[in-house]
C-alpha cells in the first residue's frame, strides 16, 4: 500500500515509522528540509520504550505535487493548516485514494469533505506522545492499551477495505490500532481531554502538573470536561464522563511535566494555536445544541485574543 504522510513532524514521523515497520510503502511529505534530507540519506531513527532502530526505505519530498497517486493519504499537519495544504495535496489523490485525518481536534472530516467525497474519508486519533529529537530522529511514548483509533465518516466497502489494511499495518509495526465502526467516542474523548489540560495550561502559562495541582486550575479543567461531555451526549455519542475520570491520572503521569502543545504555541513560540478545533469547537457545537459551555467559550475567547495580539503583549524588561 502506497501511503503519503502529509506533515511528517514529530507525530507524523512516529505514525509513519509504525506503518513502515509494518510493511507499508511510505512517502513522507514535509517542508522541514533537514529532517527530510536526513531520512533520505540515513533512514529514520525510531525510539520506543523497547529501544531504538533505524528504519529505511522511505521516500521523502517537500511537496505532494510530484509523488504520484497514492492508495492512502494521511493528514498530520495541524488542523489549522489543512485548507492551505490541500491544494498541494490534491495531485496525489486519485479517484480511488482514501484520505485519513489523524489530526487533533473536531471537524477535520468536515474540512476534508470539501475536497473528497465522504465515502473515501476516514478520521481518528492516536494516544501516543511524540517527540522530534532532531532531524531524522523521532520518539514514541505510547499509552497502554489501544493506541490508535480510526473509522470511516460513512461506512462502506471502500473504507472497510482501507481501514482493515491500515489496522493491519499499524499492528504489524507494533502500534495497537483499532478500526472502529463508530470512532466518534474516541475522537471526542481525546478532544475533551485536550481542551482541559491544553487550553487551561495555555491560559495559565503553567505545566500540566501545576494546573492539576492547584484547586482552582483543576476546577476549571473539570468544568471544561463536563461541558464537553454534555455536548457529546447531546450529539448522541454517549456518556463520556466515566472515561474522563480514567483520563485524569493518565494525563498527569504522561504529560505532567510538560507545557502542552497549545501552551508552547501561545506562550513560547507565539504562533497560531488549535483553539478553534478544541475548546472553540466544543463551544460551537454547544451553541448549535443549546448546551451552555461558558468555560470552553471563555478559554477559546482568551486564547483567540492572545494569538491575535502577540506583537502587542507586555514583555518584561
Cβ–Cβ under 8 Å, residues 31 and 64 = no
Whole-number Å distance between alpha carbons of 197 and 255: 9
Cβ–Cβ under 8 Å, residues 310 and 303 = no
Mean pLDDT confidence for 159-178: 97
Whole-number Å distance between alpha carbons of 76 and 232: 24
**Residue 70: pLDDT above 70?**
yes
Look at residues 47, 78, 69 and name the one whose alpha carbon lies nearest to residue 3. Answer: 69
- How many residues comprise the chain? 317
DSSP for residue 64? S
**Angle 30-36-40 (CA atoms, 0-180°, nearest 5)?**
140
**How close are the terminal C-alpha atoms of the chain, in Å?**
55
Write down the pLDDT at residue 277. Answer: 94
**Residue 198: pLDDT above 80?**
yes
Mean pLDDT confidence for 33-47: 97
**β pairing state of 137-142 and 128-134:** antiparallel
Helices 294-308 and 279-288 cross at an angle (nearest 10°) of 130
**Residue 317: pLDDT above 70?**
no
Mean pLDDT confidence for 202-223: 94
Mean of all residue pLDDT scores within the chain? 93
Write down the pLDDT at residue 299. Answer: 97
**Domain boundaries in the chain?**
2-179, 184-308
Write down the pLDDT at residue 246. Answer: 77
E-state strands within the chain: 2-6, 25-29, 44-48, 51-55, 59-61, 70-75, 93-101, 121-126, 128-134, 137-142, 148-152, 177-179
Mean pLDDT confidence for 74-80: 93
> Domain 2-179, what architecture?
3-Layer(aba) Sandwich (3.40)
Cβ–Cβ under 8 Å, residues 252 and 212 = yes
Cβ–Cβ under 8 Å, residues 279 and 100 = no
Write down the pLDDT at residue 141. Answer: 87
Residue 284 in grid coordinates = 460551537
pLDDT band at 164 (very low <50, low <70, confident <90, very high): very high
Look at residues 135, 134, 142, 127 and name the one whose alpha carbon lies nearest to residue 49. Answer: 142
Whole-number Å distance between alpha carbons of 274 and 286: 18
Write down the pLDDT at residue 158. Answer: 96
Secondary structure class of 67 (helix, strand, coil): coil
More confident residue, 48 or 258: 48
Burial of 103 (0-12, 13-18, 19+ CB in 10 A): buried
- The string of pLDDT tens digits covering residues 113-161 is 999 999 999 999 888 888 899 999 999 988 888 999 999 999 999 999 9
Write down the pLDDT at residue 195. Answer: 95
Phi, psi of 275 (to 5 degrees): -60, -35
**Residue 219: pLDDT above 80?**
yes
Mean pLDDT confidence for 196-224: 93
Write down the pLDDT at residue 144. Answer: 82
pLDDT band at 256 (very low <50, low <70, confident <90, very high): confident
> Domain 184-308, what architecture?
Orthogonal Bundle (1.10)
Write down the pLDDT at residue 152. Answer: 97
Write down the pLDDT at residue 142. Answer: 87
Amino acid at each position: 500500500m502506497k501511503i503519503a504522510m502529509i506533515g511528517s513532524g514529530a507525530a507524523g514521523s512516529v505514525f509513519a515509522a509504525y506503518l513502515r515497520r509494518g510493511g507499508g510503502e511510505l512517502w513522507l511529505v514535509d517542508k522541514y528540509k533537514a529532517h527530510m534530507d536526513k531520512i533520505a540519506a540515513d533512514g529514520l531513527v525510531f525510539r520506543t520504550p523497547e529501544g531504538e532502530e533505524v528504519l529505511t526505505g522511505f521516500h521523502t519530498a517537500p511537496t505532494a505535487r510530484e509523488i504520484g497517486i497514492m492508495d492512502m493519504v494521511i493528514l498530520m499537519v495541524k488542523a489549522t493548516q489543512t485548507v492551505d495544504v490541500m491544494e498541494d495535496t490534491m495531485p496525489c489523490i486519485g479517484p480511488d485514494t482514501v484520505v485519513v485525518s489523524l489530526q487533533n481536534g473536531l471537524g477535520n472530516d468536515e474540512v476534508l469533505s470539501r475536497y473528497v467525497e465522504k465515502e473515501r474519508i476516514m478520521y481518528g486519533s492516536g494516544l501516543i506522545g511524540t517527540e522530534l529529537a532532531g532531524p531524522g530522529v523521532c520518539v514514541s511514548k505510547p499509552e497502554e492499551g489501544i493506541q490508535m483509533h480510526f473509522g470511516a465518516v460513512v461506512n462502506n466497502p471502500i473504507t472497510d477495505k482501507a481501514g482493515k489494511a491500515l489496522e493491519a499495518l499499524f499492528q504489524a509495526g507494533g502500534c495497537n490500532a483499532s478500526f472502529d465502526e463508530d470512532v466518534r467516542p474516541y475522537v471526542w474523548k481525546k478532544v475533551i481531554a485536550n481542551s482541559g489540560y491544553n487550553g487551561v495550561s495555555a491560559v495559565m502559562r503553567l505545566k500540566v502538573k501545576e494546573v492539576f495541582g492547584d484547586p482552582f486550575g483543576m476546577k476549571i479543567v473539570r468544568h471544561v470536561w463536563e461541558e464537553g461531555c454534555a455536548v457529546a451526549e447531546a450529539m448522541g455519542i454517549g456518556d463520556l464522563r466515566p472515561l474522563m475520570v480514567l483520563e485524569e491520572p493518565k494525563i498527569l503521569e504522561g504529560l505532567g511535566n510538560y507545557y502542552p502543545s497549545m501552551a508552547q504555541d501561545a506562550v513560547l513560540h507565539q504562533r497560531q494555536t488549535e483553539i478553534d478545533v478544541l475548546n472553540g469547537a466544543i463551544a460551537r457545537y454547544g451553541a448549535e445544541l443549546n448546551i451552555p459551555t461558558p468555560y470552553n467559550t471563555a478559554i477559546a475567547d482568551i486564547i483567540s485574543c492572545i494569538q491575535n495580539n502577540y506583537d502587542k503583549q507586555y514583555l518584561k524588561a
